[in-house]
């Protein structure tokens, strides 16, 4: 969905180099009436894309931004294959089945001799979660119907720190999300409270292996043990789903002893993003069920338009085959050893970054050593400058480090997050700490955010003198200073930039 507020002066796209090929500019929102040469189209688009950030410096995202050239080659070779044509591309289908089985075994699915795992490749964890959620909802409804009980008020129990896809699932498929609220200094789902919240309408408890906010693993084992007890007392059989979007490719390699997966009897399904620590470019996720009976047969469609009978359980029909092939490449190319080395490296780099930040003496670290390799940190003292300002200033050095607030009820906590991916090496970690120190130093010399806002309002010709008085800030002191001039200039620059961006912005979600 393109949410565009952009209106270029004449609603067209101009491109410097492409003017060597074409003389007319292109309309922005209308299909051009005439064709243009292929090199012109290439030039126009690649020039415009230069304004995107550099994915390798995008420390906001878990999603893979680097793969080996050999895998890039395989991806390009399969770029014209539609995955859904299983009868035409039986080898691709076989590779997906191998991936499903490899991942199910990594997650300790209780498979008998020669028994195949139940699972499917998806576009990402979001689709995987929709499918897992639908399976739970249907199973619960069937049971309730059979018991002659109402089945119109299903709910899921999660922590308030769930990723947005759970809220999407809840809204799109009409399931209530019952969230266990966070609190200061405790940023994951509290297992005791979660199990207390379970009622007869709960279709599953969703635990997260690697909270999006601070990477911390939720205690799935404790949820499992408490829920077994509760199920025994109530006669219900409330199951667990594990959202292992990011942790699913970390825990098996770094923390093999940690029991979070199908070793726990109530865990009936698990999702993982192939495009996060599965080390494949965007567009692949997986959902694995514990056993056949955990995926209601009626959700599986059997189609025959493309040849033989094909079972499908996905939200979309067509999709590219490349990502599945790329996942298979990574699994066999790296093997257990390779994944363990890479994840170990990420964890060590996260530790180095975290240590560097601690050494500045200015930050609290909110991520844990055992968890997803990321560093979440907040300022010890944010009375003068906050995490958002640090994030803004870091952009000047090319770094994209998001600042955000914690989930309810810990919204007052602001934090910055650096996701450590395979391509984030030690020297980048050192450079980042260095640049953060520079930013801190710069911010120290600037008046606090609030003082700047006051000065800015004076600059606008709307002196809020009362407010200034209330704040006890002596504005005259700014007016004569070099800092004041600097602020005036930077405010002007910010305004001009905002105006420019507002015109250019073409946001896509």
CB of 118 to ligand PLP, least distance (A): 20
Output 121 or 356, the one with its CB closest to ligand PLP: 121
Choose, by CB under 6 A, the member of 216, 243, 261, 387 that binds ligand PLP.
Answer: 243
Assess 285 for contact with ligand PLP (CB under 6 A): yes
Output 243 or 389, the one with its CB closest to ligand PLP: 243
Assess 346 for contact with ligand PLP (CB under 6 A): no
Choose, by CB under 6 A, the member of 163, 327, 354, 367 that binds ligand PLP.
Answer: 163
Select from 395, 306, 376, 370 the least CA-distant residue to 53: 395
Output 108 or 273, the one with its CB closest to ligand PLP: 273
Bridge partners, residue 377, by sequence: 365, 416
CA distances from 117 to 27, 256, 289 (A): 51, 20, 8
Output 190 or 243, the one with its CB closest to ligand PLP: 243
Per rule CB under 6 A, count of chain residues that contact ligand PLP: 14
Phi, psi of 416 (to 5 degrees): -115, 150
Question: Which region among 34-42, 76-84, 118-126, 213-221 touches ligand PLP (by CB under 6 A)?
Answer: 118-126
Output 10 or 167, the one with its CB closest to ligand PLP: 167
**What SS3 class is residue 414?**
strand
Output 71 or 129, the one with its CB closest to ligand PLP: 129
Question: Which region among 46-54, 123-131, 145-153, 351-359 touches ligand PLP (by CB under 6 A)?
Answer: 123-131
Q: Give me the DSSP letters along 168-220.
A: HHHHHTT-EEEEEP-BTTB-S--HHHHHHH--TTEEEEEEEBS-TTT-BBP-H
Assess 218 for contact with ligand PLP (CB under 6 A): no
Question: Which region among 17-25, 239-247, 257-265, 456-464 touches ligand PLP (by CB under 6 A)?
Answer: 239-247
Assess 273 for contact with ligand PLP (CB under 6 A): yes
Q: Measured at the alpha carbon of residue 75, what is the angle toward residues 129 and 349, in degrees to the nearest 5?
A: 65
Question: Which region among 228-236, 238-246, 333-341, 381-389 touches ligand PLP (by CB under 6 A)?
Answer: 238-246
Assess 326 for contact with ligand PLP (CB under 6 A): no
Choose, by CB under 6 A, the member of 180, 208, 379, 439 that binds ligand PLP.
Answer: 208
Q: Which of residues 4-63 bind ligand PLP (CB under 6 A)?
A: 62
Which residues make Cβ contacts (< 8 Å) with residue 230, sequence separation at least 6? 195, 198, 236, 238
Give the pairing type, strands 506-508 and 2-4. Answer: antiparallel
Output 178 or 449, the one with its CB closest to ligand PLP: 178
- Tally Cβ neighbours within 10 Å of residue 52: 8
**Alpha-carbon dihedral 211, 214, 215, 216, rounded to 10 degrees:** -80
Question: Which region among 25-33, 124-132, 286-294, 346-354 touches ligand PLP (by CB under 6 A)?
Answer: 124-132
Assess 175 for contact with ligand PLP (CB under 6 A): no
CA 417/CA 369 separation, integer angstroms = 14
**What SS3 class is residue 285?**
strand
* CB distance 242 to 209 below 8 Å: yes
* CB distance 327 to 337 below 8 Å: no
Q: Give me the DSSP letters along 439-453.
A: HHHHHHHSPPHHHHH
Output 401 or 455, the one with its CB closest to ligand PLP: 401
Phi, psi of 160 (to 5 degrees): -70, -10
Choose, by CB under 6 A, the member of 96, 202, 212, 330 that binds ligand PLP.
Answer: 212
CB of 244 to ligand PLP, least distance (A): 8
Phi, psi of 382 (to 5 degrees): -115, 30
Phi, psi of 303 (to 5 degrees): -125, 155
CB of 372 to ligand PLP, least distance (A): 8
Which ranges constitute the DSSP H helices of 273-380? 322-359
Output 208 or 454, the one with its CB closest to ligand PLP: 208
* CB distance 182 to 159 below 8 Å: yes
Output 118 or 165, the one with its CB closest to ligand PLP: 165
Assess 126 for contact with ligand PLP (CB under 6 A): yes
**What SS3 class is residue 189?**
coil
Residues lying near ligand PLP in the complex (CB under 6 A): 62, 124-126, 163, 165, 208, 210, 212, 243, 245-246, 273, 285
């Amino acid at each position: 969905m393109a949410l565009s507020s952009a209106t270029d002066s004449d609603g067209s796209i101009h491109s410097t180099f492409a003017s060597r090929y074409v003389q007319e500019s292109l309309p922005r929102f209308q299909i051009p009436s005439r064709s243009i040469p292929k090199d012109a189209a290439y030039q126009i688009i690649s020039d415009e894309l230069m304004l995107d950030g550099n994915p390798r410096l995008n420390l906001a995202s878990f999603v893979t931004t680097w793969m080996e050239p050999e895998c890039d080659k395989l991806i390009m070779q399969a770029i014209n294959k539609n995955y859904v044509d299983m009868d035409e591309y039986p080898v691709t289908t076989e590779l997906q089945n191998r991936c499903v089985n490899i991942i199910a075994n990594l997650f300790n699915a209780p498979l008998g001799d020669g028994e195949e795992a139940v699972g499917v490749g998806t576009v990402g964890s979001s689709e995987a979660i929709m499918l897992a959620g639908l399976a739970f909802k249907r199973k619960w409804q069937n049971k309730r119907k059979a018991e002659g009980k109402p089945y119109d008020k299903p709910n899921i129990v999660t922590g308030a720190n769930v990723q947005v896809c759970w809220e999407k699932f809840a809204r799109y498929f009409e399931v209530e999300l019952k969230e266990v609220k966070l609190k200061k200094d405790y940023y994951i789902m509290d297992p005791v409270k979660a199990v207390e919240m379970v009622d007869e309408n709960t279709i599953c408890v969703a635990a997260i292996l690697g909270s999006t906010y601070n990477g911390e693993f939720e205690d799935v084992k404790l949820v499992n043990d408490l829920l077994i007890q509760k199920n025994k007392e109530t006669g219900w059989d409330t199951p667990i789903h594990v959202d292992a979007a990011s942790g699913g490719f970390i825990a098996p390699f770094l923390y093999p002893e940690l029991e979070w997966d199908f070793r726990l009897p109530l865990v009936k399904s698990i999702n993982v993003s192939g495009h996060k620590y599965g080390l494949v470019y965007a567009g692949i996720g997986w959902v694995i069920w514990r056993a056949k009976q955990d995926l209601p047969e009626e959700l599986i469609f059997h189609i025959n338009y493309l040849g033989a009978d094909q079972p499908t359980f996905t939200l979309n029909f067509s999709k590219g085959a490349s990502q599945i092939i790329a996942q298979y490449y990574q699994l066999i190319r790296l093997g257990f050893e390779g994944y363990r080395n890479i994840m170990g490296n990420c964890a060590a780099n996260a530790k180095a970054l975290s240590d560097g930040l601690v050494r500045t003496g200015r930050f609290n670290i909110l991520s844990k050593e055992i968890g997803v390799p990321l560093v979440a940190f907040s300022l010890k003292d944010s009375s003068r400058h906050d995490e958002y300002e640090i994030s803004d200033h870091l952009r000047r050095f090319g770094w994209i480090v998001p600042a955000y607030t914690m989930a309810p009820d810990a919204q007052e906590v602001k934090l910055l997050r650096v996701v450590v991916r395979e391509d984030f090496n030690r020297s980048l970690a050192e450079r980042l700490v260095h640049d953060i120190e520079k930013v801190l130093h710069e911010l120290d010399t600037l008046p606090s955010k609030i003082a700047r806002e006051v000065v800015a309002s004076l600059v606008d010709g709307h002196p809020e003198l009362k407010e200034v008085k209330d704040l006890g800030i002596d504005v005259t002191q700014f007016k004569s200073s070099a800092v004041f001039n600097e602020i005036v200039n930077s405010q002007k620059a910010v305004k001009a930039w905002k105006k420019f961006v507002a015109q250019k912005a073409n946001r896509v979600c």
